[in-house]
Structure 1
Amino acid sequence: MGNICTIINGKFSWIEVKKSSKWIKTYPLYINRLVGNLSGFTLVICSARDLIDIIPNEYIKEDGGEIYTVLEDRYSENFNLLEQTNKQKEMLLLKEKEITVFSICPTYSCNMACKYCFESGYNTKKDIISDYNLSRVFNSIENDIGLLRRDNKSHNIRIELFGGEPLQSSTFSVVEKVFYFARKMGCDISIVTNGFALKEYLKLFLLFKSSIAEITVTLDGPENIHNDMRQSKNRKDNPFKVISDNVDLFLKLDFPINIATNMNKSNIEYLDVLFQYYNDMGWVNYNNFSSVIGRVYNRMSKGDDKSLLDEVDILTHIIGIFGESDFPKWLRLGFLKTIEHLSKKMNLSFGQNEYGRFPLEYCWSSSEIISGYYVDPKLNTYRCTCTVGLERYSLGNIRDVNSKSYRYANEWSGNKLFNDYKCRNCNIGGYCCGGCVLEREAKGEKFCDNERNIFKKFVKTIVLPRVYENVRLC
């Protein structure tokens, strides 16, 4: 037997582990020989099993490009990872309640001209869904709900409105029909909106208040920053003022408001000012108020977008605002991907829980816990938020799909860690898990390099300083 130090929930604990009498080949590992007061020890990160350990140097060696260990039960490639992963999935399915979300996109048109809108790069028509197509959407969803509730009468089902921008004067009748349909089917309603026309919809929302589970509105910074990043197509408008007034009104009327903020280099330095605004407005005192921090992406870009921030940039900035223990209950993170599991190990994920994300999967899109699809005015269906409007990623016409069809689509089925040679032999394969489908297509090998660099940056700026500070105290 031997002793190693491992990290769980930010705590460094010495544990006893079994030692073998022979050297055993390992899974691909990240190893970093430590120095100074920890000379003689090695930091080992096993992404496949989500382990962060500090072990004596004599427990691990490199030979001919391979890594070997005497800790057979810890890192051995003979460990049945697939069996463990399936057990973890089964546990997750028991723990987290399955939900089906049908997201209806009434139009790709929008009253804003946001600088980072991913849909603006897609060749989408701006027509509003016709009454005939909307009826076909309702028929398909109703049939699907019938099958779901035949198997489980209490199955959680939500109808969501997405866009484009779903809440416009021109889409009012569609939204009204969607609300009545959701009530007929006994489903909760959620809305993803820029928030500009909320007041116009107030009477309708009041009629369906008991069914509305969440209204997600975007504010990307204080007034001048938000209005620059998310400009109104009518340049005379003040989007921040209108949206802020609407949020204030809807909070006072006890609607559940979630404010999303998407971070890039244009607004990161103003995040604390935005939080202070929430406090000054008294929003943080409402139980029906929440906020999530996201990241601006450019999934389909083949080059480097100099305006973007990576996960580590945003995380370290937020730690700088709140420290590691004073994170507000109304706020959570929503941008961690490759470093999410590492952040949770370090107790620095600050409430992020990508609901439905399975072990060894990059995101929720391949999850069996969240089923469903997005459907657009042409009746094309999509699985991933970032693919809505990109027809080559369509699951097919709504007449040919159901809420679980994505499980049979190549993009959203199959685990890259088990099915891709490069992922199996990558030392961050268990965290990246093959990454985003769109970014892999656009960037190729460069995407892999980017993910490895983010991982190394996290280790350098977050993990190693805490290791040197805490391990000697174990």
Structure 2
Amino acid sequence: MKPSIYNFVWSTDDPEKVMIFNSLTTALAEVSKSRIDLLNVSQFDYALLPEDKKQFADELRKGGFVVDDTADELRTVKFAYNSDKYDSEIVRLVIAPTLACNFACAYCYEQLDKSQGKNEGQNVFMPDEVKEDLLNYIGKIVKTGKDVFVTWYGGEPLLAKETIFDLSQKIIAITEENKVGYSAGMITNGYLISEDPETVQNLKKNRIKFIHITLDGPRKVHNSRRMLKGSNGPTFDRILEGIKLLKANDIETYIRVNTDRSNIENISSLLDVLKDNNLSDIFIYLGHVIPYTAGCKSYESSCILTEEFSIINQNFYKNLNQMGFDAGRESFYPRFARACDANRTNAFVLDPDGDMYKCWTEIGNKSASIGKIGDLARQKKDKENREIQWLTWEPFEYPDCVECKMLPICMGGCANQAMFINKGRPECKEWKYGLEHYVRTRFSNLKAMRAAINKSC
């Protein structure tokens, strides 16, 4: 047998013990220093071990800390990654019924960028012929038994809410007729949720199970970053009202805080506001503002490095825990990294003109389209190189990734960054800087829980 190549060993408060973490299995254990010699050799003969060490080796094997001599863990990682990547049981569609938006956010990657042909579409709102093409496309794929998962996107999708609700009813009818599953979510700025009391009920009726909304800080900070287009009017209070409505109607809600140098000092103040409004049970997380496209290149100087973001995020989770937010009760912990939808088969992004893309950062950029939904088979032949580029991207092409012990929980980060922003160089994820902190936090929580259980017994 031999130690896993994905083991991490860290000290504990007890000088006689260490904790071990495996990034492939994400197992975590505490062991005596006197017993970790099996992890410090290139290999060992299990048959020659004394009985107590055999039992210890058996426990290590359960967590993936030791493996058979013949095990090729990199192949295991590749198999797991590709098995998930090419799982075609679900069709994932990101649908933007409009690219129009009522906000003027400085960091938005959908800003006009003439050099890339952004937003040169013909339709502000999705016309009937594109809707029919979409329904015909879904009608064909459900015949193969695939479930359908839709994320409504924009622009601001609720500017086209009637289109969303109408299409939702028709998609639901198609999936029910063909006995396949259907579920949906929405990415929205949240401003229009409270405008019409029927909106939230229609969200529920149309199986929109979750909503992602952005608040970039307390009222003053948010309003300086996410203002109404044209008037630069405030948006915070209306969004907060909408979040309360979603909570009251049991719609799963996520608050994203887009984080850069201009608001990092005000994040804790936002938590105070949410707590004062009885929203500490809403899941809240930080978003790392990155200049995805040339359209937001002018904002690049405000962006923070991943290492800086990791420190901010670590403190953020501490605050969540200390303030009693539900999102802070379970410590942030790594898991095996799945492939991005942009790198999957049967996953597409659709704009109001019927153009399809692989990544939502490319939406509206006609040069990045892989074809029209109305004639995707023919269009794909003309633009298949673009789609193949996405589908065949994988972290195993990069020696630095292959040799990295964090590979299973990182998988090369964002493919868009690697292929187009960094020109062939992957961008390490936050785990590179925060892994030990997050694992230690989970370790401490588990020890505290075990101590409490022992005390109660």
Residue of structure 2 in register with 1:299 after alignment: 292
Residue of structure 2 in register with 1:321 after alignment: 319
Aligned residues: 402
Are the equivalent residues in 1 in contact too, given 2:260–2:303 (CA < 8 A)? yes
Tell me the SS of whatever aligns to 1:275. Answer: helix
User: Structure 2 CA distance, aligned partners of 1:60 and 1:251?
Assistant: 49
User: Structure 2 CA distance, aligned partners of 1:46 and 1:31?
Assistant: 6
| Pair 1:416–1:261, CA change in 2 (3 A) | same
Tell me the SS of whatever aligns to 2:209. Answer: strand
Residue of structure 1 in register with 2:95 after alignment: 104
Matching residue's letter, 2:369: S
| Pair 1:255–1:400, CA change in 2 (3 A) | same
Alignment of 1:279-428 (within 5 A): 279-284=275-280, 290-300=283-293, 305-308=301-304, 310=306, 311-323=309-321, 328-329=325-326, 331=327, 348-349=331-332, 359=336, 361=338, 363-366=340-343, 371-401=346-376, 409-413=388-392, 415-417=394-396, 419-428=397-406
| Pair 1:280–1:118, CA change in 2 (3 A) | same
Are the equivalent residues in 1 in contact too, given 2:109–2:291 (CA < 8 A)? yes
User: Structure 1 CA distance, aligned partners of 2:361 and 2:274?
Assistant: 28
2:434 to 437, 458, 466: 458
1:214 to 210, 214, 220: 210
Residue of structure 1 in register with 2:104 after alignment: 113
Tell me the SS of whatever aligns to 1:232. Answer: coil
Are residues 1:162 and 2:137 paired? no
Tell me the SS of whatever aligns to 1:113. Answer: coil
Are the equivalent residues in 2 in contact too, given 1:362–1:436 (CA < 8 A)? no
Matching residue's letter, 1:263: T
Q: Displacement, 1:89?
A: 6.8
Are the equivalent residues in 1 in contact too, given 2:134–2:373 (CA < 8 A)? yes
Q: Which has the larger share of helix?
A: 2
Q: Displacement, 1:188?
A: 4.2
Per-residue CA distance 1:382-423 (angstroms, 9 max, x = gap): 233333334454343223559xx9997332346423x44443
What TM-score do you get using the length of structure 2 for normalisation?
Answer: 0.68
Are residues 1:443 and 2:422 paired? yes
Q: Displacement, 1:361?
A: 4.2
Per-residue CA distance 1:143-200 (angstroms, 9 max, x = gap): 223x24xx36xx4x344321011222xx355334324423433544433211222244
Q: Displacement, 1:236?
A: 5.3
| Pair 1:84–1:112, CA change in 2 (3 A) | same
Residue of structure 2 in register with 1:80 after alignment: 72
Residues 109-118 or 458-467, more deviating? 458-467
User: Structure 1 CA distance, aligned partners of 2:274 and 2:45?
Assistant: 50
Q: Displacement, 1:376?
A: 0.5
Q: Which has the larger share of strand?
A: 1
Are the equivalent residues in 2 in contact too, given 1:263–1:314 (CA < 8 A)? no
User: Structure 2 CA distance, aligned partners of 1:208 and 1:265?
Assistant: 35
Are the equivalent residues in 1 in contact too, given 2:337–2:409 (CA < 8 A)? yes
What TM-score do you get using the length of structure 1 for normalisation?
Answer: 0.66
Are the equivalent residues in 1 in contact too, given 2:24–2:77 (CA < 8 A)? no
Are residues 1:265 and 2:255 paired? no
2:120 to 77, 101, 125: 125
| Pair 1:163–1:438, CA change in 2 (3 A) | same
User: Structure 1 CA distance, aligned partners of 2:152 and 2:441?
Assistant: 44
Tell me the SS of whatever aligns to 1:258. Answer: strand
Q: Displacement, 1:86?
A: 7.2
User: Structure 2 CA distance, aligned partners of 1:193 and 1:75?
Assistant: 46
Structure 1 gap ranges (5+): 1-17, 62-66, 334-346, 354-358
| Pair 1:318–1:422, CA change in 2 (3 A) | closer
User: Structure 1 CA distance, aligned partners of 2:69 and 2:339?
Assistant: 22
User: Structure 2 CA distance, aligned partners of 1:167 and 1:281?
Assistant: 24
Matching residue's letter, 2:191: F
User: Structure 2 CA distance, aligned partners of 1:327 and 1:245?
Assistant: 22
User: Structure 1 CA distance, aligned partners of 2:443 and 2:198?
Assistant: 56
Tell me the SS of whatever aligns to 1:79. Answer: coil
Matching residue's letter, 1:399: G
Matching residue's letter, 2:173: K
Per-residue CA distance 1:78-105 (angstroms, 9 max, x = gap): 5233664477579989xx9964333221
| Pair 1:257–1:50, CA change in 2 (3 A) | closer
User: Structure 1 CA distance, aligned partners of 2:193 and 2:15?
Assistant: 57
Residues 459-468 or 384-393, more deviating? 459-468
Residues 217-226 or 197-206, more deviating? 197-206
User: Structure 2 CA distance, aligned partners of 1:236 and 1:83?
Assistant: 53
